[in-house]
Amino acid sequence: MKITILDVAAGEEEEIIIKCNQMDDRLMQLVNQFKRGSDKLNVYQDGNIHLIEPQDIYYFETVDQKVFAYCENEVYEIRSRIYELEEALAAKDFFRASKSTLLNLNVIKSLSPAFGGRFEAVLGNGEHVIISRQYVGTLKEKLGL
Amino acid sequence: MKEFRQRLRAVMELFFKITTGIICASAVYISIFGGTDMEFVVAPFLGQILITAALCSVGSLFWDYEKEMSKKSMLLNMIGHYVYENIVVLGCGITFQWFYLSDWKMLLGMVIAVAVVFFGIMAFSFGMDYKTAQKMNEKLNKR
């Protein structure tokens, strides 16, 4: 997608123009994000669209090329790639726990070692998530170690 | 390239751990089974240790702990790695004539030595990870 940014004169209203053949999900998500002016995420469950705050999400996981957002009790589908979410939510304490998982640091209750240099995170809702050896460094950095 | 350097670094780290373990186990082993002509044994033995440790370390390239896998797969991975280490050490032991297959006590001693080094390294790594987990939990609690 080509992005063009034009300077406007002082006092002139700022404007976003989208040129496309068809409004797909990703574009709709972007438009909604601009309209909302907040960081809420569009998620899907049983054909319904929901808006949820990123901090309410415990982790994201890719399963069969679909990305799911796991909250305390609910699971939603999200139509973004995991790397896009990683970039977008890095400032909100989300970090890569494995190639397929993006974990919210704020919901981790405790950590314990698993074999092979991996760690197991126990989340606030009692779920266990494995942190791969190659991403332990990122977690330590996030914790200031 | 970065990934290869990381893997190479992991192999080198393992090499040093295994070398240390093997030297310690060998010292105990020689003191039990070694003869009196130690000066003829020790010199070539150092080179043999390095070859054995290098072969053991190379095994970590095939049993990759960086891969994401289930607990069951991880366990199978570890068992496979342990079998590989046994084959390497026992193979080197026979080649370098550290023991004779006909003497079951020597063979058993070697198998025990491999187990001690392998599980010793595992326990050491687990202990280090446990300390790291404690530090991370402290940081989590402070948040």
Three-state SS across chain B?
CHHHHHHHHHHHHHHHHHHHHHHHHHHHHHHHHCCCCHHHHHHHHHHHHHHHHHHHHHHHHHCCCCCCCCHHHHHHHHHHHHHHHHHHHHHHHHHCCCCCCCCHHHHHHHHHHHHHHHHHHHHHHHHHHHHHHHHHHHHHHHC
Average pLDDT of A73-82? 92
The phi-psi region of residue B89 (left if phi > 0; otherwise alpha if psi is between -120 and 50; otherwise beta) is alpha
CB A106 within 8 A of CB A56: no
Contact list in A for residue B78 (CB cut-off 8 A) is: 115-116
- B72 in reach of chain A (CB within 8 A): no
pLDDT band at A120; cut points 50, 70, 90: very high
Q: Specify the pairing of strand A108-113 against strand A119-123.
A: antiparallel
CA B143/CA B140 separation, integer angstroms: 5
- Give tens-digit pLDDT for B74-98: 888 888 989 998 999 899 988 988 8
Report the pLDDT value the prediction gives residue B70, as an integer from 0 to 100. Answer: 74
Report the pLDDT value the prediction gives residue A95, as an integer from 0 to 100. Answer: 93
A-proximal residues of B, 1-40, CB under 8 Å? 6
- B136 in reach of chain A (CB within 8 A): yes
Report the pLDDT value the prediction gives residue A21, as an integer from 0 to 100. Answer: 86
Which of A99, A118, A135 best tests the B interface by mutation, with the highest count of B CBs <10 A? A118
Q: Which helix (H) or strand (E) holds A109?
A: strand A108-113
Report the pLDDT value the prediction gives residue B35, as an integer from 0 to 100. Answer: 56
CA A110/CA A130 separation, integer angstroms: 12
b/e map B17-37, b = 16+ CB within 10 Å: bbbebbeebbeebeeeeeeee
Helix (H, G, I), strand (E, B) or coil at A3: coil
User: Pick from B54, B92, B59, B93: which is nearest to B78 by CA?
Assistant: B59
Contact list in A for residue B68 (CB cut-off 8 A) is: 98-100, 130, 132
Report the pLDDT value the prediction gives residue B37, as an integer from 0 to 100. Answer: 61
Domain count, chain B: 1
What percent of chain A stands above pLDDT 70? 94
Which one is predicted more confidently, A39 or A98?
Answer: A98
**Res. A38: pLDDT tops 90:** no
Helix (H, G, I), strand (E, B) or coil at A106: helix
Domain of residue B86, residue span: 2-142
Positions of chain B with pLDDT lower than 70, given as ranges:
1-3, 31, 34-43, 46, 65-67
- B130 in reach of chain A (CB within 8 A): yes
ipTM over 0.90? The verdict is no
List the end-to-end C-alpha distance of chain A, in Å, as a whole number: 39
Q: How does the average pLDDT of chain A come out, rounded? A: 88
- The phi and psi torsions of A115 (rounded to 5 degrees) equal -70, 155
Q: How does the average pLDDT of chain B come out, rounded? A: 81
Report the pLDDT value the prediction gives residue A96, as an integer from 0 to 100. Answer: 93
Report the pLDDT value the prediction gives residue A25, as an integer from 0 to 100. Answer: 73
Q: Tell the CATH superfamily of the A25-142 domain.
A: LytTr DNA-binding domain (2.40.50.1020)
